[in-house]
Structure 1
Amino acid sequence: MSYPGYPQGTPTVVPAHPFDPRADAEVLRRAMKGFGTDEAAIINVLTRRTNVQRLQIIVEFKTMYGKDLISDLKSELSGNFENVIVAMMTPLPQYYAKELHRAISGIGTDEDILIEIMCTLSNSEIRTIRQAYHEHYRSSLESDLKGDSSGTFKRLMVSLCAAGRDESMVTDPHQARYDAQQLLRAGELQLGTDESTFNMILCQRNYAQLRLIFEEYQHLTGHDIEKAIKNEFSGNSENCLLSIVRAIKNKPAFFAKCLHKYMEGIGTEDKNLIRVIVTRSEIDMQEIKREYYTMYGKSLKDRLRDECSGDYKRCLYALIGEP
């Protein structure tokens, strides 16, 4: 079953054209001036601008009025509506850095955040986030990840944080067959598991090559690489490796699964929900919606209607391209 009417791999938030940051700043100023706030005007402007354009509006607002736009928005808004607007107005590397810090600070670790971010971003994106993290927290992301994790999961995080994956997309069928055999020997064909082989291959090979390796593994064993990972690993290490595999196979489906997870059970994980919708709206949200409908038999809009309300819900609707 396919979701009707949506092309694949397209964003729901695209650059406004023509774009006049001065006019947008004036609209936002009027929306927050005097008694009451015009939330509809704020949603209408900000959900139809990209992150880069929103940052230009912030500069224009400060130039025109001598005030900080984010501070003004925070003073006028509240709850999850405030949270989603602030997320939209934060430079992307800083936003990811804050989310990673949230995952590893305080009591316990939110491994879901670490896995979702570290397993899906490119080398250059991870390097930029590492720099933003260091500038903001005066600490190394790698060191903080090491200090907050252990064992195989820690080594996976350190490997991904190194941002050294081959990104050439050049494929070698002979190497793919060899790597598939190595994975088989490291797991199912021996007592215990050689985690380092899984770590090295899954964190270093390029995405196209890994898809070939997964095909070869299926050919060799008659079952999917995911089955082997489930048999050989457990806990966060299993989740991390499965996430790498699933993101490589079908990234929109991976994020559809994330969205579903953040909305199932008692209470919605709103900050995680916001992160996926804000960050993917400029990349592949149309395809994520299609995958969500295929996987769960319900549109993402309908699911958000069940979980969210008020201006928060209307803002999320706008970000996913729904009226």
Structure 2
Amino acid sequence: MASVWDDLSLLLDSPDSLTVPSSARGTVKEKPGFNPSEDVAALRKAIEGLGTNEKSLIDILTQRSNAQRQLICKAYHQATGRTLADDLKGDTRGDFEDILLGLIMTPAQFDCREFMRAIKGAGTTDSTLIEIFSSRSNFQIKALSDAYLAETGRSLLHDLKSEVSGDYGKALLILAEGKRDESTTVDAAKAKADAKVLYEAGEKRWGTDESKFTDILCHRSVPQLRQTLVEYKNLTGKTLQQSIESEMSGNLENILVAIVKCVKSVPAYMAERLNQSMKGLGTTESILTRIMVSRSEIDLLDIRAEYKKLYGCSLYSAIASDVAGDFGQCLKRLCGGDD
């Protein structure tokens, strides 16, 4: 079955949100005429009155940029002597509380919270670790590591090492260093050579040399890897993703496929994750929250477009039919519109 991931025709010209972060494709923008003390007064009224005015909380916290929300938190603390986070915790519950608290963190603090949840307790949530480290730029990974150090006093790499192992662990640790090559020039000869190395390490031999895959996919720049994907298909007649899926299994397969998908299109990868979180019985609210909050000022417009292309319905309508209540309202406001 052909999938969106097999089509490489537009690959070399499409924008790359891994190395060129911009806020132009976000759904959440700065509010013009922003006044933090007005917002603080409205938030206090919503929280301190009898019963909480959820609509007011949603209107303010989903319709300000993250930078503006940081100013609101500061002004709130100055006005009340309490933190907005503590007051929200006392006043809201469940997934609704979770998304509001996510919105008032900086992007790095939010990634840090999600990372800490993924490694906490018995068993590690590998799918979360894979999603975060495959889709973030070096700058975002560095910011996450700094936030982790500030929060725990420990190095993120050190703590991650004790959570993961094997070839999968090696790949994840390389990504978590945040040192992917960021050059934009493409060396066509090197792409051809890398494609050949990958073919010889996988399809061509009995047993797979995983280290070659990890080394190339975790270190090369995105434009370079895109060229390599094209060369690989020219050389073997298969996409690299198809080869990885037939040669590998478990978390190593999952992380390498995620890297290849993010190299092609982070928005399409995120659209797929969102769809998986809503399909079947039960919704994985934590995935919805993480993607909608973390991408709302980066590329959520592109994620919406990819969602429509992949699934034939708008992301907005999928959320509306899957998630109700205040949490659902928050998600719809972040989504920004129906396509």
Common topology (TM > 0.5): yes
Structure 2: unaligned runs, 5 residues or longer = 1-14, 16-23
Match for residue 313 of structure 1 among 328, 333, 337? 328
1:12 aligns with 2:27: yes
Matches of 2:116 and 2:83 in 1, distance apart? Answer: 24
Alignment of 1:248-287 (within 5 A): 248-287=263-302
Structure 1 residue aligned with 2:244: 229
Matches of 2:109 and 2:223 in 1, distance apart? Answer: 29
Matches of 1:165 and 1:80 in 2, distance apart? Answer: 34
Match for residue 169 of structure 1 among 169, 172, 184? 184
**1:205 corresponds to which letter in structure 2?**
R
Matches of 1:314 and 1:97 in 2, distance apart? Answer: 25
With 279-288 and 133-142 compared, the bigger mean Cα shift is at: 133-142
Matches of 1:61 and 1:109 in 2, distance apart? Answer: 36
**1:13 corresponds to which letter in structure 2?**
V
Q: C-alpha displacement at 1:322, in angstroms?
A: 2.8
Structure 1 residue aligned with 2:136: 121
**1:158 corresponds to which letter in structure 2?**
L
Matches of 2:291 and 2:205 in 1, distance apart? Answer: 39
Q: CA RMSD in A?
A: 1.4
With 137-146 and 55-64 compared, the bigger mean Cα shift is at: 137-146
Match for residue 101 of structure 1 among 100, 116, 124? 116
Moved over 6 A (4+): none
Match for residue 84 of structure 2 among 56, 69, 77? 69
Matches of 2:139 and 2:267 in 1, distance apart? Answer: 20
1:23 aligns with 2:31: no
Matches of 1:29 and 1:135 in 2, distance apart? Answer: 29
Matches of 2:171 and 2:122 in 1, distance apart? Answer: 21
Match for residue 294 of structure 1 among 295, 298, 309? 309
Q: C-alpha displacement at 1:166, in angstroms?
A: 0.6
Structure 1 residue aligned with 2:199: 184
Matches of 1:100 and 1:111 in 2, distance apart? Answer: 10
Matches of 1:72 and 1:60 in 2, distance apart? Answer: 14
**1:208 corresponds to which letter in structure 2?**
P
Matches of 2:81 and 2:121 in 1, distance apart? Answer: 36
1:151 aligns with 2:166: yes
Q: C-alpha displacement at 1:41, in angstroms?
A: 1.2
Structure 2 residue aligned with 1:4: none
Tell me the matched-pair count.
316
Structure 2 residue aligned with 1:39: 54
With 302-311 and 204-213 compared, the bigger mean Cα shift is at: 302-311
Q: C-alpha displacement at 1:285, in angstroms?
A: 0.9
The superposition leaves residues 143-190 of structure 1 with CA deviations (integer Å, 9 ceiling, x where unpaired) of 222211111110001110111111011111111111111111111111
Structure 1: unaligned runs, 5 residues or longer = 1-7
Q: C-alpha displacement at 1:138, in angstroms?
A: 2.7
Matches of 1:18 and 1:233 in 2, distance apart? Answer: 54
Matches of 1:210 and 1:75 in 2, distance apart? Answer: 48
With 172-181 and 71-80 compared, the bigger mean Cα shift is at: 71-80
Matches of 1:148 and 1:239 in 2, distance apart? Answer: 17
1:141 aligns with 2:156: yes
**1:222 corresponds to which letter in structure 2?**
G
The superposition leaves residues 190-209 of structure 1 with CA deviations (integer Å, 9 ceiling, x where unpaired) of 11111111111111110001
Share of identical aligned residues, percent?
A: 39
Match for residue 253 of structure 2 among 229, 232, 238? 238
